[in-house]
Amino acid sequence: MYLIKNIIKKYEIIKISEMWSTNTLKRNVETLINKKSEDGYEIITVAFGVNLWWMPTAYITICK
């Protein structure tokens, strides 16, 4: 007999904005996803865009 364990994944969306530099935003995102990956999170998506004030913004979806 096999026991099937229900695994519930918890998703989280992280938003990072940078006022002046897209290069700084990129470095901040790389640092964050490397840290979260080391902490055991799965990186689902990384998307770049702008917010309401036209600030470069990154949206990162992670789950554990």
For 2-38, how does the pLDDT look when each residue is reduced to its tens digit (9 = 90+)?
Answer: 666 667 889 999 999 999 899 999 999 999 999 999 9
> Residue 8's pLDDT is what?
83
Sequence-distant (≥ 6) Cβ neighbours of residue 22 within 8 angstroms? 56
Whether 6 is covered by a domain: the verdict is no
Give the domain extent around 53: 11-63
Owner of token pair 């949206």: 59
Whether 5 is covered by a domain: the verdict is no
Q: Is the pLDDT of residue 1 over 90?
A: no
Whether 44 is covered by a domain: the verdict is yes
Whether 2 is covered by a domain: the verdict is no
Whether 3 is covered by a domain: the verdict is no
What torsion, rounded to 10 degrees, do the Cα atoms 8, 11, 39, 45 define?
130
Pull the structure tokens for residue 57: 């913004």
Q: Is the pLDDT of residue 50 over 60?
A: yes
DSSP state for residue 56 in the 8-state scheme: E
Whether 1 is covered by a domain: the verdict is no
Q: Is the pLDDT of residue 40 over 80?
A: yes
